[in-house]
Chain A
Amino acid sequence: MNPEIVPIHRKESLREDGMLFVRTECILDTMVKIPLLVASMIIVAAVMPIQSSFSSPRALDLIIYPDGSTHVSADIDVDPLVTDYELKLFGNTIDNFVVVGESGFLLTTDVIGDSALIETFGSSVITVEYDIHDLVSKQGRVWTFSLDAPSDFTLLLPKNSAIVGMTNLPINMEIINDQNQLTLSAGDTEIDYLFSTTALIPDSIDSTIPIPNFDYISYVIGGIAVVIVIGVIVIRAKQKIVKPIQVQDTTQTKQKTETIDAETIFKLKPDLREDDKEIVKFISNNGGQALESDLRKKFLQPRTTMWRAVKRLERNGVIEIEKKDLQNLVKLRKNMEEEE
């Protein structure tokens, strides 16, 4: 009933009942070939990024000009043994069509309607570039880009343009020379944009948001660098004297004492609506001023509703509106009592 545990390498033959026993402390050495394990894990780790890089799609880049014409640039894999390649174009109003083979040779082409016949013999990759006027239409002030893309693509929008409608999710967005560049998936895409002089680039924007084909080694190095920089900043910050903060506190206190309190405002303006009074209370408790966006967040009101409320308070002489970083800063008026 108490079976004897015998190391396999000391035993000449199996027991009569055919049971095999091994010493558990030797299981790693006996059953697992460590060099083989290590080698296979390294191979698996090494092969993974290669597989992903092999599966990258052909390049398709589009640039929209301010007049709505679009520059198309595409790298296409072709069979070098086939003499011609018929390329379906994105429309039939084509200008400046040029095709280059992999060694930089200008290839002979024939554009008929919305397709082009390219003599590709001997080339395995071709670069096609052309301008097209079929992809963007304009209605009123709104420009609409539409495309049924055969692969993922990048789209560089014109300067001073702002997207106001979109039918699918972008993969990525970068800002290149103050222009929005979107990376979009294959398939039907429709984007509405218009030209504007304000709010083109959202607040607190990075110059670029890297991403899709991620080099994670550089990311890790970047991460380490960021940690070091943050560490240095923290150490330096600790060494600084706290005086400036005290100055700020006194300024804030001074500002608070100058601000008229909510109850006085309600006495002076008894006709204020209840919802407007809540806004006044909030601004008063916030040191006499608040951003309109903060008010919207606080009272969960749509932009137009809050905008109307703020305008109403301004008309009543309760607040004044100042522009701060393209946002509305709403301030309680200080000289209300004198006016009354």
Chain B
Amino acid sequence: MKALALFTIFVLISGTVTVSSISDVYAQNDLNILLRIATQADKQIINQLEKTFDDSIPFDIQSLYDKGHTSVLTLENSLPDNIEQARENFLIAMKSFKQITKMMSESTTEQKLTTSNVSDRDLQSELNRLNKYFQKLKTISEKHNTGIKFSEIEELFTQAHQQINSNEIESAINSIHQLESLIHTIKKNISESSSHSSSDRIKEFASKQLNKIQKILEDPLIDSNMPELERANSLVREIETLISEDNVSDVKKKFGELNKLVKIIKNSIR
């Protein structure tokens, strides 16, 4: 028995040591991430400064850069021991670089991104987003065996990709519009096709919940003269009827009301 106890203690101690060493590894990696981001930003900023100002960087930008760059060096030197200092230096560096980019961009007006401006449209991004949306709908459709065919839309995607690659902008925009319209129709069709199984699922869920609620309402601790109790019982009967009539939308509405009443009744017992 003593041997077992000693073995267990040994295992637990080793486990604790292993876990704490992992935390150290985490902290180390965490700090390496900070160094990577800061170094990357430093490189980008100096590239931008060299491109924009060559050898005549304005004094305020130069001093901001020096501050940021020194923080990156200090961050590097503070690794791996001084976690707090490393984090502080990271934030100082990134804030300095952020200020520099802001100062360099001040002359240009800020632009909120919209897809309405045709000249700025990134058609490839638009197509990729649309494709992601389409793939999601296709997965839903296949999962519920809706039988919807996707070959036409897939061909149109290939065509739009080709048009973008060969710089046929107008044709690509037309294809994207067609795709949007087709995907909209597909979504509608999926909703209609899955509505039957969806309503079955809701009816099944509602029936199960009604059984649970009925048990709650039968609790002898509830004051039988409570007006909420009478209304709740009446709603339970109404919902049962609605379920048998396949009236799912009304089931949901009535269930919302019933749920609120059940909460009041439950609180009255406490």
Residues of A within 8 A of B (CB): 28, 34-35, 37-38, 41-42, 45, 65-69, 71, 80-84, 93, 95-96, 98, 100, 103-106, 108, 119, 121-122, 129, 131, 133-134, 136-142, 162-173, 190, 192, 194, 196, 198-202, 205, 209, 211, 214, 216, 219-220, 296-297, 300, 302-304, 307-308, 311
CB neighbours (8 Å) of B115 from chain A are 67, 69, 95, 133
Q: Is the interface of A mostly helix, strand, loop or mixed?
A: mixed
Q: Is the CB of B69 within 8 A of A303?
A: yes
Q: Is the CB of B69 within 8 A of A192?
A: no
User: Given contacts A98-B137, A199-B47, are A165 and B94 in contact (CB under 8 A)?
Assistant: yes
- In the complex, residue of chain A having the shortest beta-carbon distance to the beta carbon of B19: A216
Q: Is the CB of B18 within 8 A of A166?
A: no
Assembly CA distance A194 to B206 (angstroms): 52
User: Given contacts A165-B97, A302-B66, are A140 and B108 in contact (CB under 8 A)?
Assistant: yes
Q: Is B157 positioned at the interface, with any CB of A under 8 Å from its CB?
A: no
Q: Is the CB of B105 within 8 A of A67?
A: no
Complex interface residues of chain B between 198 and 224 (CB less than 8 A to chain A): 198, 201-202, 205-206, 209
Among A169, A173, A307, find the residue whose CB has the most chain B CB atoms closer than 10 A. A169
Can you list the 5 inter-chain pairs with the closest CB atoms, starting with the nearest? A165-B98, A67-B122, A140-B105, A96-B133, A122-B205
From B22, B57, B132, give the contact of A71 (CB < 8 A): B132
CB neighbours (8 Å) of B33 from chain A are 170, 172-173, 209
Assembly CA distance A170 to B209 (angstroms): 43
CB neighbours (8 Å) of A84 from chain B are 256
CB neighbours (8 Å) of B156 from chain A are none
Q: Is the CB of A121 within 8 A of B202?
A: yes
User: Given contacts A162-B40, A304-B46, are A42 and B8 in contact (CB under 8 A)?
Assistant: yes
Assembly CA distance A160 to B29 (angstroms): 23
Assembly CA distance A202 to B44 (angstroms): 11
Assembly CA distance A220 to B114 (angstroms): 49
CB neighbours (8 Å) of A80 from chain B are 205
From A105, A136, A142, give the contact of B105 (CB < 8 A): A142
Assembly CA distance A35 to B37 (angstroms): 52
Assembly CA distance A133 to B129 (angstroms): 12
From B130, B136, B144, give the contact of A105 (CB < 8 A): B144
From A38, A192, A304, give the contact of B8 (CB < 8 A): A38
- In the complex, residue of chain B having the shortest beta-carbon distance to the beta carbon of A37: B5
- In the complex, residue of chain B having the shortest beta-carbon distance to the beta carbon of A103: B201
Assembly CA distance A169 to B120 (angstroms): 32
CB neighbours (8 Å) of B37 from chain A are 163, 166, 170, 173
CB neighbours (8 Å) of A134 from chain B are 112
From A133, A201, A205, A219, give the contact of B22 (CB < 8 A): A219
From B44, B87, B202, give the contact of A164 (CB < 8 A): B44
CB neighbours (8 Å) of A171 from chain B are 30
Assembly CA distance A121 to B259 (angstroms): 12
Query: What's the minimum C-beta distance from B6 to chain A, rounded to whole angstroms?
Result: 10
- In the complex, residue of chain B having the shortest beta-carbon distance to the beta carbon of A212: B26
Q: Is the CB of A81 within 8 A of B259?
A: yes
Assembly CA distance A68 to B120 (angstroms): 11
User: Given contacts A83-B252, A98-B136, are A164 and B45 in contact (CB under 8 A)?
Assistant: yes
CB neighbours (8 Å) of A81 from chain B are 209, 255, 259
Assembly CA distance A173 to B30 (angstroms): 8
CB neighbours (8 Å) of A200 from chain B are 40
Q: Is the CB of A192 within 8 A of B22?
A: no
Q: Is the CB of B94 within 8 A of A138?
A: no
- In the complex, residue of chain A having the shortest beta-carbon distance to the beta carbon of B132: A71
Assembly CA distance A208 to B90 (angstroms): 21
> Could you list some 28 contacts between A and B, CB below 8 A?
A82-B256, A83-B252, A83-B255, A93-B114, A96-B130, A105-B194, A105-B198, A106-B187, A106-B198, A122-B202, A131-B129, A133-B113, A140-B105, A162-B43, A164-B44, A164-B45, A164-B98, A165-B94, A165-B95, A166-B91, A167-B91, A169-B91, A198-B47, A199-B47, A219-B22, A297-B73, A307-B46, A311-B55
Residue pairs across A and B with CB atoms within 8 Å: the count is: 230
Q: Is the CB of A194 within 8 A of B101?
A: yes
Assembly CA distance A15 to B70 (angstroms): 76
Query: What's the minimum C-beta distance from B39 to chain A, rounded to whole angstroms?
Result: 6
- In the complex, residue of chain A having the shortest beta-carbon distance to the beta carbon of B70: A302
Assembly CA distance A80 to B57 (angstroms): 61
Q: Is the CB of B57 within 8 A of A304?
A: yes
Assembly CA distance A122 to B198 (angstroms): 10
CB neighbours (8 Å) of B108 from chain A are 139-140
- B65-103 contact mask (Cβ, 8 Å, vs A): 1 or 0: 110011001000000000000010011001101111110
Q: Is B270 positioned at the interface, with any CB of A under 8 Å from its CB?
A: no
Q: Is the CB of B137 within 8 A of A199?
A: no
CB neighbours (8 Å) of A172 from chain B are 30, 33
Q: Is the CB of B87 within 8 A of A169?
A: yes
Assembly CA distance A303 to B73 (angstroms): 10
Q: Is the CB of A211 within 8 A of B29?
A: yes
Q: Is the CB of B69 within 8 A of A122?
A: no
Other contacts beyond A45-B15, A98-B133, A139-B110: 20, CB < 8 A: A28-B2, A84-B256, A95-B129, A96-B130, A98-B137, A100-B140, A133-B112, A133-B114, A138-B111, A164-B98, A165-B94, A166-B41, A170-B33, A171-B30, A190-B98, A209-B32, A214-B22, A300-B73, A302-B70, A311-B55
User: Given contacts A34-B4, A100-B140, A202-B36, are A167 and B94 in contact (CB under 8 A)?
Assistant: yes
Q: Is the CB of A199 within 8 A of B44?
A: yes
- In the complex, residue of chain B having the shortest beta-carbon distance to the beta carbon of A170: B33
